[in-house]
Structure 1
């Protein structure tokens, strides 16, 4: 097991209450991430964009961006600025596009009540509930060959893996992949990213670290970070070998706030990740309210 990587360092001065959902934009070689409670999308060029809070994820599309808000997935830059509702979702959480561009969204109860969340897949203009009874539906990722899907329900303390059918987005054979909490002795698995070797990088909320798991589930690397609550990670940089890490402005076990809590961090890693697949916006079913999506600040 390796611990030889340099420590992640803050690369942006903005402090997010709950930084999440980092995503690299290969079109502009830049990063975006969200501050969920504020409804703010941050851009690595120093600009920010305010959306109706909570804004839980930002997704590149073929010609713009989509965001996951309180009531559904909205197209920010398309001609209709349309929305796809998510039905029974109480509060959306992590979201990603699969290697075919199909959008997946995790949900949870606002008060984190156990068992009231779900994992949803957007099919056309409908949201299909693929997994029910989740608590905090979180990290999502796919193997490089798209035959496996990884998913985290944070309170379980583990990563689960499914066999994945890319043709129709169906999953089967759910089974444990790694016991993150057992490996860490503390902290809870949150967001994840899969690298080009099929290994998983997982942020540990409350664990002040990230873990890298090999495709067979073995713990390969422990990467400490000087904040209590890293939330998610994504590969970026022109060679996709910079691991960007979002964090939350939360105290550690001693009740103190680390100086860089809530800031975006980064570290260079040996193995790159794939660029994100553009999300295929599933339908334009009505315009968003006028003025809901102001331009960048």
Structure 2
């Protein structure tokens, strides 16, 4: 990778909790959310057009649907959205107690199932799950976590990756794309065993199978090879990166959402890009992300 590559501000924002960037190839646009700002953002990089749609509740993840519109995870459950990001149907009620819990990041597997994690906002109990929605039922697939994060799939679809952020351990499960079944989880990357600050948050995988992890509190994105070995660390002027996403027509721009929640005034002086959408040119393209395709 070009040694001169570094993160720059793509959109100057002051998001409390930016999250969930996803590249919409048909629109050549990037979508992402500000969870605490109750908003969905859209950027067309070719024209720099940036728009914001406000919501009536926390929205944590939005993914394009193959038949148009989007599927979204909100505090109240899963929703169908039209192309203008308006709620059109309540697909599934929240599977948790909503006062102290909400959905977190998510995305689709190669077959188009929607995987979405939940979190305990008080971070005081391991009572959050990773769920899968196939268009018919929302089912818990990995229970007993605190903050589910880091969902991604290997290029060949053989592995599902995710993390319970406070543990600082990224795990992997053998994955069957045909059935959606996963095997037992196993530790894959243990940040406690290497000299790397921060907590693993959202993630993305490139065409070489490298796993890019946003290090919340670590002011960087880390890249690991397919064997889980640290390859590189890319610093930024934002303390809390939340999730990377490959975008652009060639999928060679790495976009990263960031957060400024709970940061002090002195923190913001030291980390002035906190809350903005950042971007960096990369040499290896990302994977084409699947749209939501419900089972029929």
TM-score of the alignment, normalized to the shorter chain, above 0.5: yes
| 8 Å CA contact retained: 1:247, 1:263 | yes
* Counterparts of residues 42-191 of structure 1 (less than 5 Å): 42-44=41-43, 45-62=49-66, 63-77=68-82, 80-88=88-96, 90-191=101-202
User: For the residues of structure 2 that align with 1:144 and 1:93, how far apart are their CA atoms?
Assistant: 23
- Secondary structure of the corresponding residue to residue 28 of structure 1: coil
2: CA distance between counterparts of 1:106 and 1:159?
14
Q: Which residue of 2 aligns with 1:18?
A: 17
Instruction: Give the structure 2 partner of residue 276 of structure 1.
Output: 289
Who is 2:255 aligned against?
A: 244
Tell me the TM-score normalised to structure 1 length. 0.89
Post-superposition Cα deviations, 1:83-131, rounded to whole Å, max 9, x if no partner, equal 2224236311111111111011100122222301111111443211111
Tell me how far 1:50 sits from its aligned partner. 1.1
Q: Distance in 2 between matches of 1:72 and 1:155?
A: 24
Structure ranking higher on relative contact order (CA contacts 8 Å, 6+ apart): 1
Change (3 A) 1:5 1:145: farther
Are the aligned partners of 1:3 and 1:223 in contact in 2 as well (CA < 8 Å)?
Answer: no
Which runs of no fewer than 5 residues in structure 1 stay unpaired? 284-297
* TM-score under structure 2 length normalisation: 0.89
Q: Map 1:197-208 onto structure 2 (within 5 A).
A: 197-208=208-219
**Residues 2 and 283, structure 2, Cα contact 8 Å, conserved in 1:** no
- Which position in structure 2 is the counterpart of 1:224? 235
Aligned residues: 282
Gapped regions of structure 2 (runs ≥ 5): 44-48
Q: Secondary structure at the match of 1:172?
A: coil
Match of residue 260, structure 1, among 250, 265, 273: 273
1:84 and 1:266 map into 2 onto residues whose CA distance is 34
